[in-house]
Structure formats: structure tokens, C-alpha cells
């Protein structure tokens, strides 16, 4: 406890390595069947336009929604696919289909 109080790690290095190994090997259980994708067909459509390099404004115009709504959809997609940016989302979609 003294080590922890002095700013040390709350777990031993060997336990920390085991935890990291588990997290690195873990992958979400996502099916390859398009109907089982964790995103809706509308979200997939939006993601495909992102992959083509369209701007949020262009996507909004195509979908008949505001750019704010596009941003909300994108954040939902990122959460569902467990990614943090456009490139990761597009790559995840490619791996799922």
C-alpha cells in the first residue's frame, strides 16, 4: 500500500501484462451477414458516403437532413463499431461485409 500511496501502480507488472494481453486479444463479436451488422441500412449508407470522401454537408444534402444530424449519426456509428474516426469506421465496415 505504501507504494500505491507514493504514486505507484495499483497492480503488479505481471498482472498488468496479463490484463493487456486479454484486451489485445479481445475482438467484438460481430457477424458477417449484412442484416446482422450493428448499424442500420441508413447508417451504412452514410458510412459508404463517408468512405467516398463526401463532406458532412454533401451527405446531409443527399439524406435530406442537417449537418448536425449527420454528425450525430456518425458518432452513433463510431460507438456501434467501436471506432474513433472515419478511417477506422470505413475499415471496420469493409471487414464486416
Confidence of residue 36 (pLDDT cuts 50, 70, 90): low
| The CA-based dihedral angle spanning residues 73, 89, 26, 30, taken in that order and rounded to the nearest 10 degrees | 70
CA 58/CA 46 separation, integer angstroms: 11
Q: Judge contact between 84 and 78, C-beta under 8 A.
A: yes
Instruction: State if pTM tops 0.75.
Output: no
Q: What is the pLDDT of residues 39-88, one digit of tens each?
A: 888 998 998 888 888 899 999 999 999 999 999 999 999 999 899 988 88
Phi, psi of 12 (to 5 degrees): -70, 155
Domains plus CATH for the chain? 30-96 (1.10.10.10)
Amino acid at each position: 500500500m505504501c507504494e500505491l500511496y507514493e504514486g505507484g501502480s495499483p497492480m503488479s507488472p505481471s498482472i498488468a501484462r496479463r490484463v493487456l494481453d486479454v484486451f489485445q486479444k479481445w475482438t467484438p463479436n460481430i457477424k458477417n451477414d449484412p442484416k446482422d451488422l450493428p448499424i442500420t441500412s441508413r447508417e451504412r449508407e452514410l458510412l459508404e458516403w463517408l468512405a467516398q470522401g463526401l463532406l458532412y454537408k454533401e451527405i446531409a444534402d443527399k439524406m435530406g437532413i442537417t449537418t448536425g444530424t449527420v454528425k450525430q449519426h456518425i458518432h452513433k456509428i463510431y460507438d456501434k463499431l467501436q471506432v474513433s474516426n472515419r478511417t477506422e469506421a470505413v475499415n471496420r465496415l469493409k471487414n464486416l461485409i
